């Protein structure tokens, strides 16, 4: 907007100067001056044409302002030094021509100085503006390059941190979970008690599944492409096995379509998994009611378990991040996760838009 206003102001001044020639110059000279003014309309796209149209009027001493603007426009856009010097010399020669042959040397010197300023001023100003624009563009490129370099450095640091996390998970967690699976298998073989054997079988199965997911997570953390997905991912089709192997008595109502988006299926699976884990940690042996259904507008998942008093002491067990992670999953999917405690039951509910 500011550039347009400046262009209109310059054009108005040059047009006003051209109109004054109709008062004292011949009609042909006046129209030559108006042609110079008209050439300013194309000075941004074709600055040389603008200067050529202004040269005749400039040589006749008409439309001086239009000539200055045209020369300035050439200097702003011309990259070739030789062409720019040639344009300045031509304008200098035209400006100095009327003063040739003056009897007094001091007048000649003043005339040459006037012509030099007339030709050099617009050229110098145009070069200054062009250089400033080029410098601004280079600074913008430098800023973009530094920003890209900063992002690359951040990605490299993130990759190194992911590799460190993967190493720790593999060296520590994987080793300990493997020991749990091995010891549970050994106890399963050595014990004769049926319920105990079944519990040990579930422990070993859960440990093996944890190792599989842990290995997939380690592979993801070590991967160069962070967009790579962990495979295989649990879906709603895996819910019956999850519930059956949880060791939690109760009933389940599962009525979910198989074509739900994968992020929704993972959220449903992890919610049921976390709910069953909480039952085993805080109220072992409690009866649980699991419901995962799809209505016309939403996906509803609820895990309700009766309270077993006194509650199991879980102060020494790690935790506290499960519900936080589930809430984040729900928020990403524009859903909501709620956990409510009643007098005789605890309910974990997930609602996702369908």
Distance CA 180, CA 167 (A): 20
Residue 147 domain-assigned (yes or no): no
List the structure tokens of 51: 């200067």
Residue 215 domain-assigned (yes or no): no
Lowest-confidence range among 108-112, 116-120, 214-218, 221-225? 221-225
Peptide bond into 310 cis (omega under 30): yes
Average pLDDT over residues 81-108: 72
Average pLDDT over residues 96-100: 63
List the structure tokens of 125: 């100003």
Lowest-confidence range among 37-41, 77-81, 116-120, 176-180? 176-180
What's the pLDDT at 98? Answer: 62
Residue 166 domain-assigned (yes or no): no
What's the pLDDT at 318? Answer: 47
Are 274 and 313 a contacting pair, CB within 8 Å? no
Nearest to 122 by CA among 143, 92, 99, 148: 92
Instruction: Select from 135, 167, 189 the last residue of a domain.
Output: 135
88 vs 316 pLDDT, higher one:
88
337: three-class secondary structure by DSSP: strand
CATH number at residue 304: 3.30.565.10
**What are the E-state strand segments in 151-281?**
250-255
DSSP class of residue 173?
I
Question: In this predicted model, what pLDDT tens digit does every residue of 188-237 receive, in sequence order?
Answer: 778 877 778 777 887 878 777 777 777 777 776 666 654 544 456 788 88
Residue 225 domain-assigned (yes or no): no
128 lies in the same domain as 241: no
At 102, the pLDDT band (50, 70, 90 cuts) reads low
Distance CA 191, CA 122 (A): 100
Nearest to 118 by CA among 141, 97, 143: 97
6 lies in the same domain as 127: yes
CA angle 158, 164, 166 (to 5 degrees): 100
Are 236 and 268 a contacting pair, CB within 8 Å? yes
Instruction: Select from 115, 135, 155 the last residue of a domain.
Output: 135
Question: In this predicted model, what pLDDT tens digit does every residue of 135-159 receive, in sequence order?
Answer: 999 999 999 999 999 998 888 888 7
Instruction: Select from 135, 161, 192 the last residue of a domain.
Output: 135
- Between the ranges 165-174, 225-234, 248-257, where is the mean pLDDT highest? 248-257
What's the pLDDT at 136? Answer: 92
Q: Which long-range contacts (CB under 8 A, 24 or more apart) does 77-86 make?
A: 77/47, 77/130, 78/47, 78/48, 84/123, 84/127
Residue 282 domain-assigned (yes or no): yes
The model's pTM is: 0.45
128 lies in the same domain as 243: no
Residue 195 domain-assigned (yes or no): no
Distance CA 25, CA 60 (A): 10
Segments forming the whole domain that contains residue 291: 236-353
Nearest to 13 by CA among 48, 65, 90: 65
What's the pLDDT at 316? Answer: 46
Residue 293 domain-assigned (yes or no): yes
Residue 252 domain-assigned (yes or no): yes
Nearest to 273 by CA among 234, 306, 307, 309: 234
Q: Please determine, for residue 268, whether its predicted confidence score (pLDDT) is greater than 50.
A: yes
Domain count, the chain: 2
Question: In this predicted model, what pLDDT tens digit does every residue of 281-335 receive, in sequence order?
Answer: 777 778 889 999 998 889 999 999 887 655 544 444 444 567 787 888 888 888 9
């Amino acid at each position: 907007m500011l550039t347009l206003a400046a262009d209109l102001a310059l054009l108005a001044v040059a047009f006003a100067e051209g109109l004054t020639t109709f008062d004292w110059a011949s009609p042909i000279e006046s129209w030559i001056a108006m042609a110079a003014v008209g050439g300013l309309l194309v000075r941004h796209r074709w600055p040389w044409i603008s200067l050529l149209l202004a040269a005749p009027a400039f040589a006749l001493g008409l439309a001086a302002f239009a000539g200055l603007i045209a020369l300035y426009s050439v200097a702003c856009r011309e990259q070739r030094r030789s062409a720019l010097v040639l344009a300045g010399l031509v304008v200098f020669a035209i400006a100095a021509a009327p003063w040739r042959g003056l009897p007094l040397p001091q007048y000649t010197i003043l005339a040459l100085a006037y012509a030099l300023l007339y030709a050099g001023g617009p050229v110098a100003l145009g070069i200054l503006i062009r250089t400033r624009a080029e410098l601004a563009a280079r600074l913008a490129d430098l800023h973009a390059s530094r920003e890209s370099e900063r992002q690359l450095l951040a990605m490299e640091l993130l990759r190194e941190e992911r590799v460190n996390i993967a190493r720790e998970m593999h060296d520590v967690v994987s080793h300990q979970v493997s020991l749990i699976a091995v010891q549970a298998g050994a106890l399963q073989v050595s014990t004769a008690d049926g319920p105990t054997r079944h519990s040990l079988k579930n422990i070993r199965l859960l440990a093996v599944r944890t190792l599989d997911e842990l290995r997939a997570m380690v592979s993801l953390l070590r991967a160069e492409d962070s967009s790579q997905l962990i495979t295989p991912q649990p879906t709603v089709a895996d819910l019956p096995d999850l519930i059956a192997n949880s060791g939690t008595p109760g009933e389940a109502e599962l009525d979910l379509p198989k074509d739900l988006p994968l992020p929704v299926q993972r959220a449903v699976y992890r919610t049921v998994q976390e709910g069953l884990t909480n039952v085993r940690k805080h109220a072992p042996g409690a009866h649980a009611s699991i419901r995962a259904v799809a209505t016309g507008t939403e996906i509803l998942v609820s895990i309700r378990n009766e309270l077993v008093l006194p509650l199991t002491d879980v102060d020494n067990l790690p935790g506290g991040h499960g519900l936080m992670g589930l809430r984040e999953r729900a928020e990403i999917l524009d859903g909501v996760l709620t956990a409510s405690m009643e007098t005789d039951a605890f309910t974990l509910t997930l609602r996702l838009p369908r």
